[in-house]
Amino acid sequence: MIKKRKLRKKGYIILVCLAMLGSGLIPQRGIAGEEVAEKGRIIKIENPGFEIDEDGDNLPDGWFMAGAGVGIDRATFHSGKQSVKILVPSDAPYGDLRYRNIPVKPYTFYTLTVWHKTLERWRGGGTVFFIEYDEKGKPLPNPYFDVPVSSEWSKSSWTWTTMAATVKAEIILRNFPGQAASWWDDVSLVEGDSIGDLMDKARKEVKEIEKTNPGNEKIQAKCKEVYGNIEQIEQLLKAQSTMRIEELKESQKTLDDLLKQHKELKNELESLLILE
Ligand SMILES: [Ca+2]
Q: Encode pLDDT of 163-188 as tens digits.
A: 888 999 999 999 998 888 999 999 99
Domain extents for the chain?
2-193, 195-275
Distance between CA atoms of 116 and 153, rounded to whole angstroms?
Answer: 6
User: 78 CA distance to ligand 1 centroid (A)?
Assistant: 6
Q: Which CATH number fits domain 2-193: 1.10.150.120, 2.60.120.260, 3.40.960.10, 2.40.110.20?
A: 2.60.120.260
Q: Encode pLDDT of 12-69 as tens digits.
A: 443 333 333 333 222 223 333 444 444 688 999 999 999 999 999 999 999 999 999 9
Question: What angle do helix axes 245-275 and 195-212 make, rounded to 10 degrees?
Answer: 30
User: 187 CA distance to ligand 1 centroid (A)?
Assistant: 9
User: 52 CA distance to ligand 1 centroid (A)?
Assistant: 9
Write the secondary structure of 166-235 as one string of H (helix), E (strand) and C (coil): CCEEEEEEEECCCCCCEEEEEEEEEEEEEHHHHHHHHHHHHHHHHHHCCCCHHHHHHHHHHHHHHHHHHH
Q: Encode pLDDT of 225-262 as tens digits.
A: 999 999 999 999 888 877 777 787 788 889 889 999 99
Looking at residue 149, what is its pLDDT? 86
Q: Residues with Cβ within 5 Å of ion ligand 1?
A: 49-50, 77, 79-80, 185
Model confidence band, residue 114 (pLDDT cutoffs 50, 70, 90)? very high
User: 9 CA distance to ligand 1 centroid (A)?
Assistant: 16
User: 154 CA distance to ligand 1 centroid (A)?
Assistant: 13
User: 254 CA distance to ligand 1 centroid (A)?
Assistant: 38
User: 158 CA distance to ligand 1 centroid (A)?
Assistant: 20
User: 149 CA distance to ligand 1 centroid (A)?
Assistant: 19
Three-class secondary structure of residue 71 per DSSP: strand
Q: Encode pLDDT of 182-208 as tens digits.
A: 999 999 999 998 998 999 999 999 999
User: 115 CA distance to ligand 1 centroid (A)?
Assistant: 9
Mean pLDDT in the chain? 84
User: 83 CA distance to ligand 1 centroid (A)?
Assistant: 5
